[in-house]
Amino acid sequence: MGPVGTQQDAAFALRASVPAGSYHVICDAVVTAPVDVNFALIWRGAGVDTTLVAWSKHWEPGPVVHQAQAYEVDMAAQAIDFRPGDRLVFRYTGAGTTGASSEPFIPNGDGAGANGRIPSITLPR
């Protein structure tokens, strides 16, 4: 995550319009200290960012700190009227922590190696 308060964006090129509906987000993460994380799905098109949906979750370290904690959620959002060059952005930001860790929330990029899944987003169909 980087220092608390630092937003992290992962942008993905869109290939077509997306209907309104439920976005299925998997974001298993390693949590090293108590932290509040703000999440958002953003449609970036024609130089404009449109927040499709935003939510927050409080995290506590698990019994084995360097193993991922499972997290998945379905979030309803508006349709995307695709134009070439549009992107879907997954954003997360640490909003506060009571621990000393500089990176209290780390999305699980190690997959099964950290006892979790690689983060992913399934779009509405």
- What CATH number is attached to the domain comprising 91? 2.60.120
Residue 3 has pLDDT above 60, yes or no: no
The rounded percent of the chain whose pLDDT value lies above 90 is: 74
Q: Is 90 inside a domain boundary?
A: yes
Residue 101's pLDDT is 63
* Max intra-chain CA distance, the chain: 45
Task: Count Cβ neighbours within 10 Å for each residue of 113-123 and write b for 16 or more, e otherwise.
Answer: ebbbbebeeeb
User: Which structural domain, as residue segments, surrounds residue 81?
Assistant: 7-122
| pTM of this prediction exceeds 0.85 | yes
Q: Is 1 inside a domain boundary?
A: no
Token representation of residue 103:
């990176």
CA atoms within a 13 Å half-sphere pointing along the CA-CB vector of 63:
1
Residue 29 has pLDDT above 60, yes or no: yes
Token representation of residue 78:
């508006």
Q: Is 11 inside a domain boundary?
A: yes
Measure CA 4 to chain center: 15
- Number of helices (H), then strands (E), belonging to the chain: the values are 0, 9
- Number of structural domains, the chain? 1
Separation between Cα atoms, residue 8 and residue 56, nearest integer Å: 15
Q: Is 38 inside a domain boundary?
A: yes
Q: Is 2 inside a domain boundary?
A: no
Count of beta carbons in the 10 Å neighbourhood of residue 6: 12
